[in-house]
Amino acid sequence: MSDIKAEVIEAATRSKAAAATLRMLTRKQKDFALNAIADALVANESSILDANRIDVDDAIKRGTDAAIIDRLTLNSERLAAIASAARDVCALPDPVGDVIRGYTLPNGLEISQVRVPLGVVAMVYEARPNVTVDAAVLCLKSGNAALLRGSSSAHHTNVALADVMRQALASTDVPVDAIVLVPGTSHESVEVVMTARGLVDVIIPRGGAGLINSVVNGSTVPVIETGIGNCHVYVDAAADIEKAVAIAVNSKTHRVSVCNAAETLLVHKDIAAKFLPALLSEYKKLGVTVHANPALVGFCKSAGVSYEAVTDADWAAEYYSLDIAAGIVDSIDDAIHHIQKWSTGHTEAIVSQDVEATRRFVAAIDSAAVMVNASTRFTDGGEFGFGAEIGISTQKLHARGPMGLPELTSYKYIVTGDGQIR
């Protein structure tokens, strides 16, 4: 066994031991620890910001993109916001112990299906150091041990944040190993986590498609795939033009760097002449580039909006930019087939006043969220009222769509009898 492997296995073993204790703690004990963490983050501001400065300076030396440096950078205000978010989690109900279902069998056995923590939740994530705290806090509240592997570019910050949080736990009933940072920053350490079946109960990757695919393909530990979003907006023949323009604009341009932003627009041919001039003049103002199918090119020319001919790569693209693939379709079924072919199963929207069309679309589309006359941007734990979000699942197993605290739990059956045998 390599040194790295031995170290990571040792870390995961500590997480597993902590999980056995965490599972049995009360909400009061966990909330007390959450407040202690929030206090400690504020009290240790200077050491955290010093560590962050090292990561930021390194990133600047490497010539890192300014937007990424901004995501990496902590300051007093941002750290206070992170601590405040940890306090907010105290106000959320504890999912552990929730009875999902309960009933009594004819033989008198009483069956309860009760939420329990998953156990050890490994998070593998990129860039933003706030994820280190967010993930630790949500895992703690839901009774899970957090095994955290951030990116090497935020390594000093992550070490400082984890140290502060662990020191805070030392004076609480929560074991310090409720929060463990995976040792090292090599790829090997991630590989050990991904194959630590029996120690790690679930692994949640958060980051770009490369990271997520690498975890999905390399893990023997169960994975929850998150956040790949090639989201579609379909404007039906029976759409309300004003709503359709607002939704197509908001879905694309409200924030382009997020997974619930729209990447493709499909327009029914019968409404194209009325809808597209209104939309494309807005897109022109906002600096959107349209990757247009042949039927749509003429509208782009007339509107004077920036455009290119669409390719298969465009239909598949998550631009995370002010680009959108767009096409005129002959029917709602053509739109559905297009989406079935290219969607990543995140969010698709229909704009229509026709109940038959919306029923058909909702039934046929197999995505985590289907929006009827609303922006794709609403697929979000905060917007859904969950109070917190650990990620947005784009797989069908376990959890789908925004994942809050209940999605960080499993359940067990408690069967109570008075001597029943078969």
- Name the residues that contact a second copy, by CB under 8 A: 20, 23-24, 103, 105, 109, 111, 116, 118-119, 197, 201-202, 216-217, 220, 222-224, 240, 242-243, 246-247, 249-251, 254, 340, 358, 362-364, 366-375, 377-379, 383-385, 395-398, 400-401, 410-422
Cβ at position 72, least distance to a second copy in Å = 26
Choose between 46 and 217: whose C-beta lies nearer to a second copy.
Answer: 217
Choose between 79 and 371: whose C-beta lies nearer to a second copy.
Answer: 371
Cβ at position 40, least distance to a second copy in Å = 29
Q: Which two three-digit tokens encode residue 385?
A: 């009222």
Name which of 124, 127, 411 is nearest 135 in CA terms. 124
Cβ at position 154, least distance to a second copy in Å = 28
Q: How far is residue 13's CA from residue 3's CA, in Å, rounded to a whole number? A: 15
Choose between 45 and 240: whose C-beta lies nearer to a second copy.
Answer: 240
Choose between 246 and 297: whose C-beta lies nearer to a second copy.
Answer: 246
Cβ at position 388, least distance to a second copy in Å = 16
Q: Is residue 12 a contact partner of residue 201, using CB atoms and an 8 Å limit?
A: no
Strand 120-125 with 99-104, pairing: unpaired
Cβ at position 410, least distance to a second copy in Å = 4
Cβ at position 153, least distance to a second copy in Å = 28
Q: Is residue 161 a contact partner of residue 50, using CB atoms and an 8 Å limit?
A: no
The residue type at 124: V
Name which of 201, 265, 215 is nearest 409 in CA terms. 201
Choose between 264 and 376: whose C-beta lies nearer to a second copy.
Answer: 376
Choose between 161 and 247: whose C-beta lies nearer to a second copy.
Answer: 247
Choose between 286 and 362: whose C-beta lies nearer to a second copy.
Answer: 362
Greatest Cα pair distance in the chain = 80
Choose between 240 and 354: whose C-beta lies nearer to a second copy.
Answer: 240
Cβ at position 20, least distance to a second copy in Å = 6
Choose between 82 and 202: whose C-beta lies nearer to a second copy.
Answer: 202
Cβ at position 233, least distance to a second copy in Å = 11
DSSP assignment of 128-181 equals: -THHHHHHHHHHHHTTPEEEEE--GGGHHHHHHHHHHHHHHHTTSSS-GGGEEE
Choose between 77 and 418: whose C-beta lies nearer to a second copy.
Answer: 418
How many other CB atoms sit within 10 Å of the CB of residue 120? 31
How many other CB atoms sit within 10 Å of the CB of residue 54? 13
Q: How far is residue 195's CA from residue 205's CA, in Å, rounded to a whole number? A: 14
Strand 231-235 with 347-351, pairing: parallel
Helix axis angle, 130-141 to 27-43, nearest 10°: 160
Q: Which two three-digit tokens encode residue 257?
A: 């760097």
Buried b (16+ CB within 10 A) or exposed e, 173-194: ebbebbbbbbbbbeeebbbbbb
Cβ at position 328, least distance to a second copy in Å = 22
Q: Which two three-digit tokens encode residue 102?
A: 């309960």
Cβ at position 180, least distance to a second copy in Å = 19
Q: Which two three-digit tokens encode residue 41?
A: 């983050």
Q: Which two three-digit tokens encode residue 163?
A: 């140290």
* Nearest-5° Cα angle at 60, 56 to 64: 105
